[in-house]
Amino acid sequence: MPSLIFRKGLDLKHAVAGMLADNYHSSVIERIKAEDFTFRSDRLTVHLAREFGFCYGVDRAVDYAYQTRERFPDRQVFLTGEIIHNPHVNEQLRAMGIRFLTDEGESIDHLGATDVVILPAFGVTVAMLQKLDERGCTLIDTTCGSVLNVWKNVRRYAEGGYTSVIHGKVWHEETQATASQTASYGGKYLVVFDQKETESVCEHIRHGGDTDAFMGRFRNAASPGFDPDRDLERIGLANQTTMLMTESLQIGEMIRQAVIDRYGEHELSERYQAFDTICSATQDRQDAVVALLREHPIDLMIVIGGYNSSNTANLARICAAARPTFHIADPDCLVSPEEIRHRPVGSKTEVTATGWLPRTGRLAVGLTSGASTPDNLVGAAVARLETFCRSTAC
């Protein structure tokens, strides 16, 4: 039996509003926002970025997950994986009895027509959707509109005979879903992570070269049967929605220039297309942190968000280029005035650092959080900073 799909919630927004506020709202943060995004206490000043935290897509996805639990209290409810990349939110959903298909012992093959499955904000692959459809489950689709916009663009590329070059992380659920959309329309794709990878793509566009070496490098990032000699002749550029805007623009320019070098300016419009698919929430948060760093004499930056959150990692990259920066997963990482657990930019693991907080003098801390971080975690971080600064000398 085909699946029943809910794409616009379950008409229970009001029923879950109180629960959502209890779990994620922060009166401290509301107060700080009202006071020009600034918190002052003794020697400590905290400057909040003017855009931070839950984006419209995450807000909606979490809301729909709560509505789902409310609507189907007696049914088994599953998520295909993390609903968003924030451990706190995912744990909260587990505590409500929502199960994760990525957990050990869970499997799509065990699902049946009475089961309910929530699709995350970053979407799922076409193959996953087909499997769920075959099982006849009820589906709650929370895929963000900005992700659907990327899919629309790559499908258009596929239909026009363009290979989608996707600036993204090949292991990220959103990029996997986007690539699968391309493939389902018979299109080719290639995922590039950064300028270094793009440089080798550009090299191949300009001069061709060793196809085996190219595929050795991009095998896991290219569509099946990808042939760089054939499939780089016409390119459409897309981005994972949460990448660093400046880097996406550079990557687009690199490819555009390589196409001109190879085929000449007169063939550019036939051979290269680009649509900016970075979402506005990501863009707003990146712009806000740049403004924060420009407008205030910040001593150190704290960026809060899951370590596997792409947009949070990119906020940390922006900050780290300008100030000492600590990307922390949650407020507990602020262990003491002496000790902090954080993930340095570019590293894959969390480390513990000591002596991170200046012990004396006035201190200006910049604070932001990723699009999947609820305000209550940001509020708790401010409270910890205040306590730490009080306990150290003025």
Q: Which residues are known catalytic residues? A: 174
Nearest residue to ligand SF4 by CB is 57
| Interaction of residue 380 with ligand SF4, rule CB under 6 A | no
Strand partners, 48: 367
Using CB under 6 A as the binding rule, whether residue 181 contacts ligand SF4 is answered as no
Amino acid, single-letter form, for residue 194: D
> 302 - beta bridge partners?
326, 367
Percentage helix, strand, coil for the chain under 3-state DSSP, each rounded to 5? 45, 15, 35
User: Under the criterion CB under 6 A, does residue 57 sit at the interface with ligand SF4?
Assistant: yes
Q: How far is the CB of 290 from ligand SF4 (least distance, A)?
A: 17
Residue 311 sits in the site that holds ligand SF4 (CB under 6 A)? yes
Token couple for 118 = 């929530």
Which residue has 């599953």 as its token pair?
78
26 or 373, CB closer to ligand SF4? Answer: 373
368 lines the binding site for ligand SF4 (CB under 6 A): no
Residue 56 makes contact with ligand SF4 by CB under 6 A: yes
Of how many residues is the chain composed? 394
Site for ligand SF4 in 139-158 (CB under 6 A): 144, 146-147
CA 238, chain centre distance (Å) = 15
Judged by beta carbon, residue 24 or residue 226, the one nearer ligand SF4 is 24
Residues 105-144 within binding reach of ligand SF4 (CB under 6 A): 121, 144
For the bound state, the minimum distance from the C-beta of residue 306 to ligand SF4, rounded and expressed in Å, comes to 12
Is there binding between residue 244 and ligand SF4 (CB under 6 A)?
no
Among 28, 55, 93, 274, binds ligand SF4 (CB under 6 A): 55
- Is residue 277 involved in binding ligand SF4 (CB under 6 A)? no
**What is the spatial distance between Cα 98 and Cα 31, in angstroms, rounded to a whole number?**
33
Stretch of 54-62, 198-206, 220-228, 287-295 lying at the interface with ligand SF4 (CB under 6 A): 54-62
Q: Could you give the CA distance from residue 17 to residue 52 in angstroms, rounded to a whole number?
A: 21
Q: Which is nearer to ligand SF4, 56 or 263 (CB)?
A: 56
Cβ-based nearer residue to ligand SF4, 147 or 293: 147
Collect all residues with Cβ–Cβ distance below 8 Å to 113 and sequence separation of at least 6: 1, 135, 136, 137
Q: How far is the CB of 202 from ligand SF4 (least distance, A)?
A: 27
Binder among 175, 178, 241, 369 for ligand SF4 (CB under 6 A): 241
d(CA 389, CA 381): 12
Residue 279 binding ligand SF4, by CB under 6 A: yes
CA distance 33 to 365: 15
Q: Report 62-101 residues binding ligand SF4 (CB under 6 A).
A: none
Number of residues that bind ligand SF4 (CB under 6 A): 15
**Segment lying near ligand SF4 (by CB under 6 A), choices 50-58, 294-302, 337-345, 385-393:** 50-58
* CA angle (310, 149, 177) in 5-degree steps: 55
Q: Is 371 in the site for ligand SF4 (CB under 6 A)?
A: yes
Instruction: Give whichever of 53 and 337 is closer to ligand SF4, judged by the CB atom.
Output: 53
Amino acid at 115: D
Q: Could you tell me the sign of the dihedral formed by the alpha carbons of 200, 202, 207, 210, in that order?
A: positive
Q: How far apart are alpha carbons 53 and 304 in whole angstroms?
A: 9
What are the φ and ψ backbone dihedral angles of 235, each rounded to 5 degrees?
A: -125, 135
Distances (CA, A) of 388 to 268, 286, 304, 334, 356: 57, 28, 17, 9, 11
Using CB under 6 A as the criterion, which residues of the chain lie in contact with ligand SF4 when the complex forms? 55-58, 121, 144, 146-147, 241-242, 279, 281-282, 311, 371
